[in-house]
Every structure is written in structure tokens, then in C-alpha cells.
Amino acid sequence: MKIKLNGKDRLTIPRLLPEKGTLVEQATVKEIIEMVALKSTDFKKYGIEEDPVTKMLIPEKLDPEKNPKIAVEEEFDLTKPHVQLLKKQVQEKDDAKEITQFLYDTCIRINEMRG
């Protein structure tokens, strides 16, 4: 299914995925990461920068109100297992009360996906 994701979603999704799981889950994780994870060329396209001293991403560059480039959406073709795994991870984070403001918008977007 075709899903539109912005730069912030693409930064957030890998953070939601499980580090451990079954072989099938980890194969799905790998597929999702290969599909949506940001590459170095994407950083320039989305206007994402890192602090030269700390090497941390500059928070203002991740805020769509301060950096409209990060809100630009691209279409990705996620399968039903991809969407199901993402929804499962959002539910687990929600149940554990681990949803942060950084994760919030992407989690809402994932919950609205069909699958």
C-alpha cells in the first residue's frame, strides 16, 4: 500500500522498530529500514543538519514549522506485514508510556494507516 512519509517520519520509524524478535520480524524490520531510512543525500534534501561539536541533529531542523523541508512527503510502498509491525510497535510504546513528543506525530500517522 502506498504511504506518504515526511523526513521526520523517516527519522522516527527506525527508532520505533524492535531490536530483537523472531527471524520473520527482523526480516520485516530490515525491509522497512532499507526502504525508509534516511540516506546522507536525504539530509541535504530535507535541510537536516547536525551540530558540528556534538554531532547531534539540530532540533530546530526537525521542526516542520521552522524547517518546511522536513515536512515534504514522499510515497513508499509498505506491505501489510510492514504496517502491522509498525502498528504493533506503536501500541507497545504506548502501553509502556514511552511516546515522546518527537515520536508523537509519526505514531499518530502509523495508527491511521490501514493494514
Q: What is the pLDDT of residue 52?
A: 87
Instruction: Work out how many domains the chain is built from and give that number.
Output: 1
Q: What pLDDT is recorded for position 59?
A: 86
Query: 45: domain range?
Result: 2-111
**SS (HEC) of the chain:** CEEEEEHHHHHHHHHHCCCCCCHHHHHHHHHHHHHHCCCHHHHHHHCCCECCCCCCECHHHHCCCCCHHHHCEEEEECCHHHHHHHHHHHHHHHHCCCCCHHHHHHHHHHHCCCC
pLDDT tens by residue, 67-114: 999 999 999 999 999 999 999 999 999 999 999 999 999 999 999 998
pTM of the model: 0.88
pLDDT at 40: 85
Is 115 a residue whose pLDDT tops 80?
A: no
C-alpha 72/C-alpha 66 separation (Å) is 13
Contact status, residue 85 vs residue 99, Cβ threshold 8 Å: no
pLDDT averaged over the chain?
Answer: 93
Residue 47 confidence (pLDDT)? 92
pLDDT in tens, 7-47: 999 999 999 999 999 999 999 999 999 999 999 889 889 99
